[in-house]
Amino acid sequence: MSQGVEFNRLMLEMRAMQMDALARPKPAAPSTPEVSAPNFAEMLGQAVNKVNETQQVAGQLANAFEIGQSGVDLTDVMIASQKASVSFQAVTQVRNKLVQAYQDIMQMPV
């Protein structure tokens, strides 16, 4: 499968998720959380797992290219590597923002 096609599929999935999130009705009472909505910890765990999967695919492609396996192109290896790098940087930035928010909350006077 071409990395360009995979990237386009990923972007389409992200847009579909965005449209689903925008289409959901707002909860009537903030005290009653939706049971079917995933919580933040699950979403964060899924994001970390997706980044891990992306990094492993990039590593496998790089190893296949290094041993000279047929059908593995250098451009595919570089695209997978950059995709893994960008996704890791994004998760790192999310983590940094979470840590900063936690520190800000902990420093608030009670």
The residue-averaged pLDDT of 87-94 equals 93
- pTM of this structure: 0.60
Q: What is the pLDDT of residues 18-75, one digit of tens each?
A: 777 777 776 665 565 556 777 888 888 899 999 999 999 999 999 999 999 988 999 9
**H-only helix segments in 24-73:** 40-66
Structural contact between residues 51 and 87, judged by C-beta atoms closer than 8 angstroms: yes
CA-to-CA distance for 46 and 99, rounded, in angstroms?
19
pLDDT at 86: 95
The residue ranges of every structural domain in the chain are 3-106
pLDDT tier for residue 88 given thresholds of 50, 70 and 90: very high
pLDDT at 41: 84
CA-to-CA distance for 57 and 1, rounded, in angstroms?
12
